[in-house]
Amino acid sequence: MKPVALAFAFWVQLALQAAFDPGFALAQAQQEDLDKVHVRIAKKVAPATVCVEGGSMRGSGVIIDKSGLILTSPTAVGTSSTRVTVLTKGARSYSGKVMGRANDRELVIVKIDAGQDLPFLELGDSDAVRPGQISYVFGDSYDSMRSDDQPAMSMGVISGIYELTQRHERALYMGKVLETSAAVNPAQNGGPLVDREGRLLGLITLNYDDSKFTGLAVPINALKPSIEKIRRDYSSAPVVLGPLRPEPAVEPKKPVEPAPKAKAGEAWLGLEVKAVLGGVEVTRVARRSPAHKAGIHRGDVVTMIDASKISTEEGLRKALERKSPEETVRITVNREGAGVQELTVKLVAKPEY
């Protein structure tokens, strides 16, 4: 008798749960939603994706401000063009002005006057990106913007993060890249790589590593300083940062050596800095990093780590190299308006897979 009663009690309980548990019923309703979960990203990002033409080339770009500020690549519009044709959703074409460029980072900023607010994307944080994160690529696909008023969308993940030391397809950027398993095809260079919220993680480059041949993007954080500088300094003529025709810094196809024998994990602080008088100025703080947690801000000038004076980027790196992950260090920082501070920071192991 008891097993029977238990069995039926169990069954009744489940049936009641079916009736009254919103989660269960919702799950059924969501069977249809599964097919179209990525559609909301299409609706957000496709309208902010543009096709660009300049210097007898064509490629893609992305709107990052409703006033019509567009990021694209010199591999899409040429290394010295001053005007660019931009095609937006609705099959509208505009003549854009080049506000500035940093060709060695494959960045060109273009301004168009659409006479109305345009859909745009927020910039994401490419340093917080981890392999496995969902990512999408949008861009012109074999004439899709002009012919069919659409970019093409592809879906995948951030499949890897590494240093690219080769140049193909007349690429201009070598350095840290975000690799994506989402499909990348010609004319998508300059277009957006976005995360699951539609935030810009990088600009597509057609450069590839000849052992992978997969899609790559220049990380947005590598572009942020240039973007800010161009926006700040632009008045009438294009702001040109870096060489117009970058030459490879290293011999292409040189065998890549991994980092010299390190202990399990390097000590990581989470700062990007540049040398200034008396120390190094923080240009970026990585989210969730030890520096962030300790309260270090952009603009702070780091002058000492423990007892070592820091005056260059290299100096900071060397000082950290000598530390082990989990070590606590004293960082001396000059903050405008707040004088000199000494912060205690606990380092962690560099978060790399």
Partner 1 sequence: MILRTLLLALALGSAAFSSFGSGLEALAQDKQEVKSDDLVSSLEKSYEKVADKTANCVVAVRVDREPEPAPPKTTPLPGLRGRFGAAPEDPFAKRPSAWCSGLIVEPTGTILTTYFNVQGKVKSIRVLLPDGRELEGKLLGYNGTYDLAAIKVEAEGLPTLRKARLDDLKAGQPLVALGRAPDGKSLTLNPGIVSAASRLGGKGIQIDSKLNYGNVGGPVVDLEGRLVAVSCKVDVKYALVFGQNSGVGFAITHDRFSNLLVDLKAGKNQAEPRRPFLGIGPEPNSKKEGVELATVQAGTAAEKAGIKPHDVIIEFDGRKVTQFDDLRAAIGRKSEGDRVKVKVLRGEDEMEFECVLGSALDDAP
Partner 2 sequence: MRPSFLLLALALSALPGEALAQQDPAARLQKKVEDCARHVSERFVYFGGGSGVMISEDGYCLTNHHVAGTQNTTKVTLFTGREWSAKLVCTDALGDLTLFKIEPGEEKFPFIRLGDSDKLEMGQYVVACGNPFGVTKPDADSKWYPTITLGIVSAIHRNQQTYFDCVQTDAAVNPGNSGGPLVTLDGQLVGINGRIATRYQNRVNSGVGYAIPSNQIRNFLPEMKKGGEKGKIHHGMVGGLQISEQNTQGEGAKIVAVKSNSTADQAGLRKGDLITSVNGYSIFNRERYLGVIGTYPEKTEVSLRVKRDEETLELKAPLDRYTPMEGLGFALPPRPAPVRPKGSGYLGAYVEETKDGVKVMDVRVASPADEAGLQVGDLILAVNDRKITGRDELLQRLWQRKPGAKVKLTVKRGAEELEIEATLGRNPDDE
Give the binding site for partner 2 (CB under 8 A): 1, 3-4, 7-8, 10-11, 14-15, 18, 23-24, 27-28, 30-31, 34-43, 46, 56-58, 90-93, 141-144, 146-155, 182-186, 213
Q: Smallest gap, in angstroms, from Cβ of residue 246 to partner 2?
A: 19
**Of partner 2, partner 1, none, which one does residue 308 interact with (CB within 5 to 8 Å by kind)?**
none
**Of partner 1, partner 2, none, which one does residue 80 interact with (CB within 5 to 8 Å by kind)?**
none
**Of partner 2, partner 1, none, which one does residue 251 interact with (CB within 5 to 8 Å by kind)?**
none
- SS3 for 146? helix
Q: Smallest gap, in angstroms, from Cβ of residue 168 to partner 2?
A: 11
Cα dihedral 166→176→158→87 (10° resolution): -80
28 versus 211: smaller Cβ distance to partner 2: 28
**DSSP class per residue in 262-280:** --SS-EE--EEEEEETTEE
**Of partner 1, partner 2, none, which one does residue 352 interact with (CB within 5 to 8 Å by kind)?**
partner 1
Q: Smallest gap, in angstroms, from Cβ of residue 223 to partner 2?
A: 24
157 versus 275: smaller Cβ distance to partner 1: 157
Q: Smallest gap, in angstroms, from Cβ of residue 205 to partner 1?
A: 15
**Of partner 2, partner 1, none, which one does residue 353 interact with (CB within 5 to 8 Å by kind)?**
partner 1
What are the helix (H) ranges across 73-219? 74-77, 144-148
Q: Smallest gap, in angstroms, from Cβ of residue 169 to partner 2?
A: 10
Q: Within 10 Å of residue 204's Cβ, how many Cβ atoms?
A: 31
Supply the DSSP symbol for 199: -
Using CB atoms within 10 A of its CB, is residue 221 exposed (0-12), middle (13-18) or buried (19+)? Answer: buried
179 versus 300: smaller Cβ distance to partner 1: 179
Estimate the share of the chain in helix, then strand, then coil, as percent rounded to the nearest 5: 25, 35, 40
46 versus 294: smaller Cβ distance to partner 2: 46
Rounded Cα gap, residues 282 and 99, in angstroms: 26
- Residues near 61 by beta carbon (within 8 Å), at least 6 away in sequence: 49, 50, 51, 52, 70, 71, 72, 73, 76, 86, 110, 190, 191
Using CB atoms within 10 A of its CB, is residue 316 exposed (0-12), middle (13-18) or buried (19+)? Answer: buried
For 21, left (φ over 0), alpha (ψ -120 to 50), or beta? beta
Interaction site with partner 1 (CB under 8 A) = 1, 4-5, 8-9, 11-12, 15-16, 18-20, 22, 25-26, 28-30, 33-34, 36-38, 40, 130-134, 156-157, 159-165, 168, 179, 181, 196, 209-214, 253, 255-256, 258-259, 261-265, 352-353
**Of partner 2, partner 1, none, which one does residue 259 interact with (CB within 5 to 8 Å by kind)?**
partner 1
209 versus 300: smaller Cβ distance to partner 1: 209
Q: Smallest gap, in angstroms, from Cβ of residue 231 to partner 1?
A: 31
Q: Within 10 Å of residue 185's Cβ, how many Cβ atoms?
A: 16
Structure tokens at 306: 């423990």
**Of partner 1, partner 2, none, which one does residue 157 interact with (CB within 5 to 8 Å by kind)?**
partner 1
CA atoms within 13 A on the CB side of 218: 29
214 versus 303: smaller Cβ distance to partner 2: 214
Q: Which residues pair with 83 in a beta bridge?
A: 97
88 versus 332: smaller Cβ distance to partner 2: 88
Q: Smallest gap, in angstroms, from Cβ of residue 192 to partner 2?
A: 14
